[in-house]
Structure 1
Amino acid sequence: MKKITGLVILMIVSALFLIACGGENDTSSNGSSNENGEKLHIEVVAKGFQHQFWTAVSEGAEQAASDFGVTMNFTGPANETAIQEQNQMLSNAINQSPAAIALASLDTESQIDLISQAQNSGIPIIGFDSGVPGAPEGSITANASTDNYAAAELGAENIFDAISEDVDNATTEASVRIGIVSQEVNSMSIRTRTEGFMDRIVELVATSDNVSEEEIAIVGHDRYNNGVSENDAKVVVELQVPAQATDAAIQVSAQTLFNKPDLIAIFGTNELGGNGIINANQATGNRLQTDVVGGGFDSGALQIDAVRNGVLHGAITQNPVQIGYMAIELAVKAVNGEDVSDVDTGAVWYNASNVDSEDVQALLYE
């Protein structure tokens, strides 16, 4: 073996020292600071704080900000109908000249000018939750979101399994009704869930040897009514949308469905809808415990308890912590010039048999 000279040792030590110093001081690789050595700042504009879902999203974003060494401001309007309030928040966010913005838009059309302003200022926008549907091409760098249509389809499939016998026995003289409660149908996430559940439940009902698609009436909202008369239908799918997105108004919508004797199933498209169904059930004779199969979307203490106790047949949970985390991670990567693409943050059906499992518990929030 050749003898290592002192000069060679010195060169090796020097090289290792330089590598170590570079690893400590070059924070651009993990997005923690800008060219001036300041921490990157990311503005996050959510849809609101009306639901516990957004608190969980915020927790995920905060964890990512800590992990990636950036600062973050998480804000949102009072509720998911406050479009102008969110627009002002987005304007304020742009005026902060952040490294990036994460946006869950309530109304993309009203934000086009603001989105263009951010784009012209070189501020990348990451969509999260339902993202920024209909935004100008190239203005949204990537999205961290649930595939809401597919998630709602999963809800329809699990509910149909529990009512398929009733569907097989339905007649025009003794029709059956499947209800959907949506707090509104304007935001992309709620509308997509409504359509995912509705489309899939109609498809599944039509697989019955007893019911054709022409014998399914979709009623309750002009956007979705299919023109089939209830009098000619064996199965009625009814969508209830309250005039206001409040607990009281949604409970009234759910009660309207429970008061119809032919109701066999009911599904809420978000936490507010699920809670409204549970509260309406208590006010109308507890039909969920006897002749109606109920399902929900998201979690929250009320829905989790209802699933655990068998009041609800089950519910869909997203991964809100992952949504918030990935929104920040995508923002950091975009700022650093890395290639980013849309991320599906996933959804799971939970019921009394798996609600307390480790895998499901990790996705639930109260």
Structure 2
Amino acid sequence: MKKLSVTALLASSLLLGACSMSQGGDDKAKDTKKSDGDFKIGMSVSTLNNPFFVTLSDGAKAEAKDEKVNLTVVDAQDNASKQASDVEDLIQQDVDLIIINPTDSKAVASAVESANNADIPVITVDRASEGGEVVSHIASDNKEGGKMAAEYLEEVIGEGAKVAQLEGVAGSSAATDRGAGFEEVAKDGFDVVASQTANFNRAEGLTVMENILQSNADIKGVFAQNDEMALGAIEAIEASGKDIKVVGFDATDDGVKAVEDGKMIATIAQKPTEIGETAIETAVKSLNGEKVEKDIPVELELIKK
């Protein structure tokens, strides 16, 4: 009877061991069975109503085609709740990696954490997440860009001049960093008489600039944290008949044309195509088990006539 019990125990141990080995083997097979062409990547973009993010998305799509990976792009429409829902949908689709361009750097943290809990790696682009684990963050140095804008504006209109700033979406790292860079120079170089949000939107840039001009008719310069707001501000300035120098940010096609036409003195080129391409390249490397940098900077450039 004792001999039979020992035999049964040994059989049970072997069976459990076999199950354990089988489970581990399945996991390993799941991790290694995919080639580049089988990878499914999801990408959540803050808004496709902004030329900058359209260009970033197009860069990612082109690179995905070259890398032969499946890319699904979803538009958060500048809505943090929709972005969270979009990311949950991508998780349910069992994508291998999610690239997120946050609408709100703080609000997106819960979506990043959801992906973490589902063992889906996350890469952020242009704007960072204030929470969760991210494989890599790919962006230009927005703070440095803000400084570049302020320094060039000071070079053109002179130290001590009255200026206004149009801010982007509150809570986004891009708005925070660009503003911090601008203010680092402006605190000693300018008299900043107004700093108001226009949510990276052209129509809001027009309205906000009209309001600023009503109470600050003698300003000499404007820094807009993106080209869309800058172009809206230019419409308001032209309607007022005033000579006010404007610096934008992003170097969108419309922004660069405004510089070439003399309507805007400069824009900071952030190279969205390169950001999108780099995001896909980094995603594929990470999915193939290669080590990737935690922070990948994309070079800035001052575009002036």
Name the TM tier (shorter chain): 0.7 to 0.9
User: Which residue is equivalent to 2:205?
Assistant: 250
Distance change (3 Å), C-alpha of 1:188 and 1:337: same
Q: Match for 1:248: what amino acid?
A: A
Within 5 Å, give how 1:45-194 maps onto structure 2. 45-78=44-77, 80=78, 82-132=79-129, 134-136=130-132, 139-164=133-158, 167=160, 176-194=161-179
Contact 2:206-2:233 at 8 Å conserved across structures? yes
User: Which residue is equivalent to 2:21?
Assistant: none
Q: 1:34 Cα deviation (Å)? A: 5.6
SS at structure 1 position matched to 2:291: coil
Does residue 240 of structure 2 align to residue 309 of structure 1? no
- State the distance in 2 between where 1:264 and 1:270 align: 19
Distance change (3 Å), C-alpha of 1:302 and 1:282: farther
User: Which residue is equivalent to 2:4?
Assistant: none
SS at structure 1 position matched to 2:175: helix
Q: Deviations over 1:313-344 (max 9, x none)?
A: 11111110011011111111111111111111
Deviates more, 1:308-317 or 1:318-327: 308-317
Of all paired residues, the percent bearing the same amino acid is 23
SS at structure 2 position matched to 1:263: coil
User: Which residue is equivalent to 2:303?
Assistant: 350
- State the distance in 2 between where 1:343 and 1:246 align: 27
Moved segments of 4+, more than 6 Å:
none
Q: Deviations over 1:48-88 (max 9, x none)?
A: 1111111111111012212222110111222x2x1111111
Aligned length: 272
TM-score with structure 1 length normalisation?
0.69
Deviates more, 1:195-204 or 1:110-119: 110-119
Q: 1:89 Cα deviation (Å)? A: 0.7
TM-score with structure 2 length normalisation?
0.83
User: Which residue is equivalent to 1:284?
Assistant: 240
1:298 pairs, out of 240, 250, 259, with 250
- State the distance in 2 between where 1:128 and 1:247 align: 22
Does residue 180 of structure 2 align to residue 195 of structure 1? yes
Q: Deviations over 1:235-260 (max 9, x none)?
A: 33420224x76543321211233342
- State the distance in 1 between where 2:263 and 2:105 align: 37
Within 5 Å, give how 1:193-272 maps onto structure 2. 193-205=178-190, 235-242=191-198, 246-259=201-214, 260-272=216-228
Distance change (3 Å), C-alpha of 1:65 and 1:281: same
Contact 2:140-2:297 at 8 Å conserved across structures? yes
Q: Deviations over 1:276-321 (max 9, x none)?
A: 1111112211x23xxx221111233432222112221111111100
Q: CA RMSD in A?
A: 2.1
1:328 pairs, out of 280, 296, 305, with 280
Q: 1:120 Cα deviation (Å)? A: 2.5
Distance change (3 Å), C-alpha of 1:275 and 1:34: farther
Contact 2:200-2:226 at 8 Å conserved across structures? no
Q: Match for 1:135: what amino acid?
A: G
- State the distance in 1 between where 2:224 and 2:166 align: 5
Contact 2:97-2:122 at 8 Å conserved across structures? yes
User: Which residue is equivalent to 1:20?
Assistant: none
Q: Deviations over 1:3-34 (max 9, x none)?
A: xxxxxxxxxxxxxxxxxxxxxxxxxxxxxx96
Q: Deviations over 1:76-124 (max 9, x none)?
A: 222x2x1111111111111111111111122344344432232132211
Unaligned runs of 5+ in 1: 1-32, 168-175, 206-234, 353-366
